[in-house]
Amino acid sequence: MPTYHGFLWPGWPLCWLVGFRRVLTDRVAFITGSGRGIGRAIALAFAAAGARVVIAARSEDEIHTVANEIGKAGGQAIPVSCDVTSALSVAAAVQETTQRFDPVDILVNNAGYVDSAPLTRVTEETWNRTIAVNLTGTFLCVREMLPSMINRKRGRIINIASTAAEIGYPYTAAYCAAKHGVLGLTRATALEVASKGITVNAICPGWVDTEMTARSVARIVRTTGRSASEARSALEAMNPQRRLIQPEEVADLAVWFAGDEAAGVTGQAYNVADGKGST
């Protein structure tokens, strides 16, 4: 079983841990949507780097599972219920974080939602939910946690966007609109706080091997009659390297953005997409 600085990460490839350093020791990281997928991978990576991690999401079972996983490996993590579409829920989650840990040093906006349909068949409910989770949720979390960062003259904000923040994809108009908004929010906020010791950046993954992609595969199977293998291959073919990105690859970049080495990088969007998207 691979170990790193006393951490045991069952199933994690040893090569991923080689050279990994505890660059985030004692910093408080609040990660939305961290009960699964990319968010979970970021939570595990931040814990391995020494951060005190807040596992924030709506699913009580998932956030407790990830927090326990980190705790058993020797890290520090607490599960905090949070609905990013509610300003009251976000405020309560931040208050609980401050009481149990300290003020937030690192915010990772990872919570996401996507559905696909031709634009003429997109309901207002789907449109509003997509904007609320992906864009408004990011705004609410940044607005709630930024004042403390400004007062302490330090902070890192990392927004998990998508290549859909840079280019359009058919049948995902709401998602593309929301993620384009996240990128605009990233760039504008970065300029507002550039002189205050705070960086704001975005990571734009391509197709990642997560539950969200699995749902997309199921949707393709349901609507086209393709097999699951054929549907997955079609998504892999959309990435130039002809494979799905692994969540840990996104987490690696998030750790770097959160550390001191990236202090001079702000207002940027970095792709983790096998070459997909703009440069």
Residues 109-155: tens digit of each pLDDT: 999 999 999 999 999 999 999 999 999 999 999 999 999 999 999 99
pLDDT at 189 over 90: yes
Is there a domain that residue 277 lies in?
no
C-beta pairs of 180-189 under 8 Å, 24+ apart in sequence: 181/131, 181/134, 181/135, 182/109, 182/134, 182/135, 182/138, 183/159, 183/269, 185/135, 185/138, 185/139, 185/142, 185/159, 186/157, 186/159, 186/161, 186/267, 186/269, 187/267, 189/142, 189/146, 189/157
**23's tokens:** 């660059």
Domain identity same for 30 and 167? yes
CA distances to 109, 170, 218, 219 from 115, in Å: 19, 12, 12, 9
Residue pair 248/45 in contact (Cβ under 8 Å)? The answer is yes
Q: Specify if 5 maps to a domain.
A: no
**Whether 174 and 218 share a structural domain:** no
167 within a domain of the structure (yes/no): yes
Q: Is residue 103 in some structural domain?
A: yes
Same domain, 240 and 111: no
Domain contains 278: no
Q: Largest Cα–Cα distance in the chain?
A: 55
From the candidates 4, 113, 169, 175, which is the catalytic residue? 175
pLDDT at 160 over 80: yes
145-168: average pLDDT: 98
Instruction: Please tell me the total number of residues recorded for the chain in this structure.
Output: 279
Residue 226 domain boundaries: 209-244
**235 and 250 assigned to the same domain:** no
Q: Which amino acid is at 176?
A: C
Query: Is 175 tagged catalytic?
Result: yes
Kindly state whether residues 196 and 71 are assigned to the same domain: yes
41 and 110 share one domain: yes
Q: Is 228 a residue whose pLDDT tops 60? A: yes
pLDDT, tens digit, 9 for 90 and up, residues 31-82: 999 999 999 999 999 999 999 999 999 999 999 999 999 999 999 999 999 9
Res 274: pLDDT: 61
> Quick one: 238 and 256 in the same domain?
no
Domain count, the chain: 2
Do 218 and 130 have their domain in common? no
* 82, part of any domain: yes
Is residue 6 in a domain?
no
Within a domain: 1: no
Helix, strand, coil percentages in the chain from 3-state DSSP, rounded to 5 = 50, 15, 35
